[in-house]
Amino acid sequence: MSNDQNINQNSDEFFADPLPGQERYVAPLDETPLQDVDTVDETNPPTSMWADAWKTLRKNPLFIVSAVLVVLVFVVALFPQLFTRIDPRDCDLTYSLEPASPGHPFGFNNQGCDVYARVIYGARTSVAIGIYTTLLVSVLGGLIGAVAGFFGGWVDAVLSRLTDIFFAVPLLLGAIVLLQMFRTSSSIWKVIFTLTLFGWVSMARIVRGAVMEAKNLEFNTASLALGSTPGRNLFRHILPNSLAPAIVIATMSLGSYIVSEATLSFLGIGLPSSVVSWGGDISTAQQYLRTNPSVLFYPSAALAITVLAFIMLGDAVQDALDPKARTA
C-alpha cells in the first residue's frame, strides 16, 4: 500500500469516528432557510447604476429641495418676462434709491432702475455663463483626462505636467490677469473662455482617475479580446462608465463659476456695465450698504440661493452615485 493510500485511509478513519464531543450534525436542506436566502428573484428586470441612483434621489429631501430651486432658477433665466414686464434698463433718476412701492417690490437703485427687474433679468446672464463654462470645462477637461488615463506612458506624463502647470494658477487670479490684458473688449464669451481656460484642471484630474480605474475592469479586457480598437473602446465603453464622478464635479462646479463671474463683474473686469448681471449690481450697490442696504441685499440673496441650490444638488447626486453611500 502506498503512502497516499495510507494517508487517505487514516483521514477517513479520523472523520468517520470523531472523538467524544466532536460529533457533527448537518441539518437537511429542506429544514434550513438557506435555499430561500440564495434564491434570486428573476421576475424583476436587472437595473443599472443610473436606475438605482434615481431611486435614491427620489427619496432624498435634499435633492427635491435643490431640484425645485434649480428648476425655478432656469425658468426665471429662460422666461424673465413671466415675472416682470419692466425693462431692467429703463431707469429714471427721479426714482433714485426710492423704497419699495406697488409694482416695484424691491425699490430702485441709485440710477433709478427697478431692482426687482434687474434681479430677474440678471439670472439669465449668470446662469448662462455658468452653464456654458461647465459644458466647455467638461468637454475639454474630460477629453484631456480620458486620453491621459487611458493611454498612460509618455502621453499621461505630458498631459499631467500640463495639468499641473494650470493647477498651480488659481482660477480667479488667472482670470483677473487675463481679463486685464484684454480689457478693451468685454463680452460674455470672453468671460466664459477665460473661466474655461483655468477651470478644466479639476475635471481632467477626476476623469483621469476614473478612466484609469475603469480600463482595468473585465469588460475592457473582453472588448479588446473581441477585436475592439482602443479608441472605440475608450469612447464607447470606458467613458460611459466613468461619467458618475464627472457629473458630480460638473454639478458642483456650476455654482462656483457663477460666483466667479459675479466676482469678476464686482471687480469691474468681467462683464461690461451694459450687461445686467448680479455681480455688476452688487458692485454698484456696495457704496449704499449703510444708507440703503436693500439695494445690495436682493442681488446678493439671488446669487447665494442659486449657488446653494447647485451645491446641494451636487451633494445629493454624489450620494446617489456612490455605491458605498447607497449601501450604508
> Could you give the CA distance from residue 112 to residue 325 in angstroms, rounded to a whole number?
51
CB 270 within 8 A of CB 229: no
pLDDT tens digits, one per residue of 186-195: 678 889 999 9
List Cβ neighbours of 249 (8 Å cut-off, separation of 6 or more). Answer: 202, 203, 206, 314
Mean pLDDT throughout 140-168?
A: 90
Looking at residue 72, its pLDDT comes to 94
Query: What's the average model confidence in pLDDT over 88-109?
Result: 87
Residues shown for the chain: 328
pLDDT on residue 46: 59
Spatial neighbors of 202 by CB under 8 A, at least 6 apart, are 141, 249, 253
CB within 8 A of 206, min separation 6: which ones? 141, 145, 245, 246, 249
* pLDDT cut 90: percent of the chain above it: 29
For range 112-141, the mean pLDDT: 92
Read off the pLDDT band of 328 (50, 70, 90): very low
Provide the grid cell at 309: 441650490
Is the model more confident about 294 or about 16?
294
More confident residue, 216 or 2: 216
Give the C-alpha separation, 193 to 196, whole Å. Answer: 5
Domains of the chain and any CATH numbers: 54-327 (1.10.3720.10)
Q: Are 185 and 120 in contact (CB under 8 A)?
A: no
pLDDT tens per residue across span 276-305: 889 888 988 888 888 888 888 999 999 999
- pLDDT reported for residue 161: 92
pLDDT of 3:
53
Residue 21's pLDDT is what?
59
Render pLDDT for 251-274 as a digit per residue (tens, 0 to 9): 888 989 999 998 988 888 888 878
Please state, for a pLDDT cut of 70, what percent of the chain lies above it: 82
Enter the pTM of the model. 0.79
Average pLDDT, the chain: 82
| pLDDT for the residue 188 | 86
